[in-house]
C-alpha cells in the first residue's frame, strides 16, 4: 500500500510539473503585418489562463509596445483567451520579419511571426453602404503605389456582434478608386467591424474600423 501511495504521489507530482512547465502557445495573431508610421492593434488568441503582464517584439528597433489588454478570458471563450497588443511602429522602422511574444511573471509565450513590409496598400473612408441581419455591405477608397491591388482584392475582416469575434476573408470588387465588399454578419445585434485589404503580393493595408448599427 505504501508503495502504491508513493507511486501515485510521484505521478501526481510529475503531472503537476508538466503543466507548470507548459509554455502558452499563441494560436492566432492578426493582423501580422505592421504598417510603418502607424499604430497597429494585434489580436491574439491563446489557449491559456495566464494573466499576461506585457509583450515583447524582436528585433525591437522601431517598434514600441504601448498596451496589452485582455479582450476575453479563456473560460468565457471555449478555453481560448483573446488579448489585444498595441504596437507603435516608427516611420523609419526597417522592413523585415519580427516576432511577438506575450510575457508572464515567470516566462513568455511561444513567438508569433510578424512582418514590416516595405510598402503597403492604403485604404480610407470606410463606410457602411447597406446592412441587413445577414450581411454588411461596405465601401472604402484604396490606393497602392505598386499598382497590384487587382480587381478583386482580398478583404480581411473581424466582426464582433456581442459574442466572440468572427474572423474571415472575402473578395472585394474594385470600382474606380474604391472597393466594395459584402461581409457576412454573425448576428443581428450592433457590430464592431474592422477590416483591411491585401494586394497581389499578399501585403496587407492599414486597418479601418466602423460601427454597424
Same domain? 33 vs 93: yes
**pLDDT band, residue 72 (cuts 50/70/90):** confident
Instruction: Examine the domain organization and report whether 195 and 180 are in the same domain.
Output: yes
Cis previous bond, 103, omega within 30? no
Return the percentage of the chain with pLDDT > 90, whole number: 70
> For residues 158 and 99, what is the distance between their CA atoms, to the nearest angstrom?
22
Per residue in 74-119, pLDDT (tens digit) is 877 678 999 999 999 999 999 999 999 999 988 999 999 999 998 8
pLDDT of 7 strictly over 60 = no
Instruction: Clarify whether residues 128 and 111 are in a common domain.
Output: no
Of 150, 130, 129, 162, the C-alpha closest to 197 is 150
Lowest mean pLDDT among 45-54, 55-64, 198-207: 198-207
Of 209, 36, 27, give the one whose Cα is nearest residue 115. Answer: 36
Q: For 29, phi and psi rounded to 5 degrees?
A: -140, 115
Tell me which residue of 77, 88, 82 sits closest to 29, measured CA to CA.
82
Residue 195: give its domain's CATH number: 2.60.40.10
Give per-residue pLDDT as tens, 61-70: 999 999 999 9
Is residue 2 domain-resident?
A: no
Mean pLDDT computed over every residue of the chain? 88
Q: Whole-angstrom Cα distance, residue 83 to residue 113? A: 16
Q: Are residues 58 and 40 in the same domain?
A: yes
Number of domain units in the chain:
2
The answer to whether residues 104 and 149 belong to one domain is no
For residues 163 and 76, which has the higher predicted lDDT (pLDDT)? 163
Q: Give the model's confidence band at 21: pLDDT under 50 very low, under 70 low, under 90 confident, else very high.
A: low
107 and 163: one domain? no
Residue 130 C-alpha cell reads as 447597406
Burial class of residue 46 in the structure, from the number of CB atoms within 10 Å of its CB (0-12 exposed, 13-18 middle, 19+ buried): buried
Statement to judge: residues 98 and 158 lie in one domain: no
| 179 & 144 share domain | yes
- Same domain, residue pair 103 and 167: no
| Confidence check: pLDDT of 137 > 90 | yes
Whether 130 and 72 map to the same domain: the answer is no
203 and 131: one domain?
yes
Q: Which of 82, 116, 150 is the last residue of a domain?
A: 116
One domain, residues 104 and 144: no
Position 189 pLDDT exceeds 90: yes
Q: CB count, 10 Å around CB of 38?
A: 14
Residue 166: give the domain boundaries: 122-212
Q: For 105-120, give one letter per residue: b (16+ CB within 10 A) or e.
A: eeebbebbebebbeeb
Amino acid at each position: 500500500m505504501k508503495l502504491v501511495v508513493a507511486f501515485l504521489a510521484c505521478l501526481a507530482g510529475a503531472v503537476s510539473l508538466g503543466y507548470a512547465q507548459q509554455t502558452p502557445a499563441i494560436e492566432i495573431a492578426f493582423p501580422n503585418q505592421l504598417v510603418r508610421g502607424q499604430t497597429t492593434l494585434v489580436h491574439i488568441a491563446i489557449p491559456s489562463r495566464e494573466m499576461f503582464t506585457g509583450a515583447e517584439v524582436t528585433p525591437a528597433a522601431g517598434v514600441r509596445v504601448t498596451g496589452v489588454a485582455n479582450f476575453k478570458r479563456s473560460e468565457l471563450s471555449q478555453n481560448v483567451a483573446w488579448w489585444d497588443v498595441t504596437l507603435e511602429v516608427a516611420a523609419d522602422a526597417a522592413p523585415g520579419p519580427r516576432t511577438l511574444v506575450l510575457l508572464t511573471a515567470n516566462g513568455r509565450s511561444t513567438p508569433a511571426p510578424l512582418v514590416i513590409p516595405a510598402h503597403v496598400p492604403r485604404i480610407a473612408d470606410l463606410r457602411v453602404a447597406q446592412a441587413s441581419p445577414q450581411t454588411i455591405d461596405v465601401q472604402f477608397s484604396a490606393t497602392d503605389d505598386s499598382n497590384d491591388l487587382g480587381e478583386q482584392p482580398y478583404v480581411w475582416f473581424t466582426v464582433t456582434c456581442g459574442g466572440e469575434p468572427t474572423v474571415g476573408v472575402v473578395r472585394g470588387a474594385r470600382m474606380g478608386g474604391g472597393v466594395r465588399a459584402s461581409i457576412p454578419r454573425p448576428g443581428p445585434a450592433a457590430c464592431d467591424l474592422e477590416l483591411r485589404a491585401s494586394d497581389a503580393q499578399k501585403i496587407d493595408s492599414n486597418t479601418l474600423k466602423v460601427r454597424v448599427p
